[in-house]
Each structure stands twice: as C-alpha cells, then as structure tokens.
Amino acid sequence: MNKTNLMALGLLSLSATLTSSAVFAGGNDDPLLTKVMLDQFEKGVDPQDPTQFSAQAWLGYDLNKLWLKTEGEYSNSDKQDLEIQALYSKPIAPYWDVQFGIKTDIKPTPTRNWAVIGVQGLAPYFFDIDAALFIGDQGRTAMRLSAEYELLITQKLILTPEVEVNLFGKDDAELGIGSGLSDVSAGLRLRYEIVREFAPYIGVDWRQKLGNTAEYSRNEGEDTQETQFVIGFRAWF
C-alpha cells in the first residue's frame, strides 16, 4: 500500500466523521466534545536516559470520534523516535471501540507510513487494552498490543502496571527491526493526583529487544535490554 492510498484512507476516515457529525449536530443531547490526555511525560533519573512522552486526543460525538495519538522519545539528535496516528473511532460493544486510519513513523528515518485497524477498550477486571494491526508498503505488517491496569491505593495514590508487545511481519534492516516478536516493555508507575487533571509520578521502565531486532542492536554495539527509573507527570483536560 503506497502513501497515496494511505492518505486516501485517512481522508475517508475524516469524511465519515464529519458526515456523522452533521447527523447528530441538530440535537442537544449529543454535543460535540473534546479531550486531551498526556498519559506520560517523563525523564529517566540518569542524565543519559531519554525523555519520553505519550499522548492522545479526541474530538467528536458519543458514537463517532476522530482520535489523534502520538508517542516519542528523545535522547540526542542521533537517537529520536516519533510516531503520529490519525484514526476514526466507532463503538462496537459496551466499552469497546474499533479504530482505523493512518500512522506515520516520522523518526527514525526513513519514514514509514501504515494503514491502521485496531480496537481500544476496557477488558474484564478493568484492564485498558489497545491493540492494532499496521499494514505498510512493500508488504510490511506489524502488530502492537498494550495493556494497563490502575490499582487505587487511596483516592489520590494510584499504582499503574503496564505492558506492551510489538511484532513485525518482515525484517526492516534500515531501521534495525527484525521479523517476529521484536520487543517487549513493562512499566510500573506510582502517581499522586494533586487534582484529577494533574498527577506527578515516579516509576520504573524495563525494555527487552528480541530475535532479529536484538541481533541488529548487538551488531551496532547497542544494549538489547535496559531498565530505567523515571520521574514524570500525567495530565488531561
């Protein structure tokens, strides 16, 4: 799937959102709403550790929304990661939405573009799940699964374990990504909600590269596993 087809898919998603919005705009019981969530903004305690962020935002009505998702990492000018997703979202079951659109991996270069289809929602026992299939050009495919759980220690003190797994359908030597199970990460963060909209936190983050991805890293003299302690904050409005 080339870049033109990916952009066309994105425009169709946006058109569907706007068309649905027009249907609901005449009523007062389904207002247009927005929400911005900075899920993570953190820095490792070691001066050499990267700065990382993860954010989401949506605009829309009860049944139809346009989502923007982004996450990234910055260590120095030679080591950066940045991706952006634009998705149309529609509920398919209580607490579950199907999402489709486009994703662009801006950094590292070369840039990769993907079509996206996924689901996001609340699983039994209150696990937040985000799963997506990515389809790129030249036969590239990838999958991502992330899960998060919030454990209330008190009304303001919340412990959040989370895990993420990435898989790729074929090697991408230019970016040092191997086929199969590429990497797994897990984190544990303890936040204190000063107010519901703002909460500083401390935590630990662990990452492990696997398979061919680990082999690429070893050939470049890079570590295949890292653990860092982080300080950051979470906010929404």
Contacts of 61 (CB under 8 A, 6+ apart): 20, 21, 24, 30, 31, 32, 33
What span, in angstroms and rounded, lies between the C-alpha atoms of 149 and 129?
Answer: 9
Asked if residue 220 belongs to a domain, the reply is yes
Q: What is the pLDDT of residue 27?
A: 52
Domain assignment present for 173? yes
Do the domain assignments include residue 147? yes
What 8-state DSSP symbol labels residue 150? -
For 47, the domain range is 3-22+34-236
Give the pLDDT confidence of 60-82 residue by residue, as tens digits: 999 999 999 999 999 887 789 99
DSSP assignment string, 71-139: EEEEEETTEEEEEEEEEEEEEEETTEEEEEEEEEEEESSSPEEEEEEEEEEEETTTEEEEEEEEEESTT
More confident residue, 202 or 13: 202
How many angstroms separate the CA atoms of 60 and 49, rounded?
Answer: 37
Q: Are residues 126 and 147 in contact, defined by beta-carbon separation less than 8 angstroms? A: no
Structural domain contains residue 199: yes
91 contacts 69 by C-beta, under 8 angstroms: no
**For position 176, what pLDDT does the model report?**
95
Average pLDDT over the chain reads 90
Residue 202 placed within a domain:
yes
Alpha carbons 200 and 50: distance in angstroms, whole number: 18
**Measured at the alpha carbon of residue 128, what is the angle toward residues 122 and 129, in degrees to the nearest 5?**
90
Best CA proximity match to 1, nearest among 140, 97, 99: 140
Give the pLDDT of residue 28. 60
pLDDT digits (tens, 9 = 90+) for 24-58: 444 568 899 999 999 999 999 998 899 999 999 99
Instruction: Give the CATH number for residue 147.
Output: 2.40.160.40
pLDDT digits (tens, 9 = 90+) for 165-195: 999 999 999 999 999 999 999 999 999 999 9
Higher pLDDT, 59 or 3: 59
Q: What percent of the chain has pLDDT over 90?
A: 83
Number of separate domains in the chain: 1
Instruction: Assess if residue 27 is contained within a domain.
Output: no
Region 105-131: what's the mean pLDDT? 96
pLDDT digits (tens, 9 = 90+) for 102-114: 999 999 999 999 9
Task: Give a yes or no: residue 28 inside a domain.
Answer: no
| Other Cβ atoms within 10 Å of 191 Cβ, number | 20
- pLDDT band of residue 148 (cuts 50, 70, 90) is very high
Nearest to 13 by CA among 108, 96, 102: 102
Domain membership flag for residue 131 = yes
Residue 13 in this model has a pLDDT that exceeds 70? no
Q: pLDDT band at residue 149, thresholds of 50, 70 and 90? A: very high
Query: With 80 as the cut, is the pLDDT of residue 229 above it?
Result: yes
Asked whether the beta carbons of 134 and 103 are under 8 A apart, the reply is yes
Three-state secondary structure call for residue 176: coil
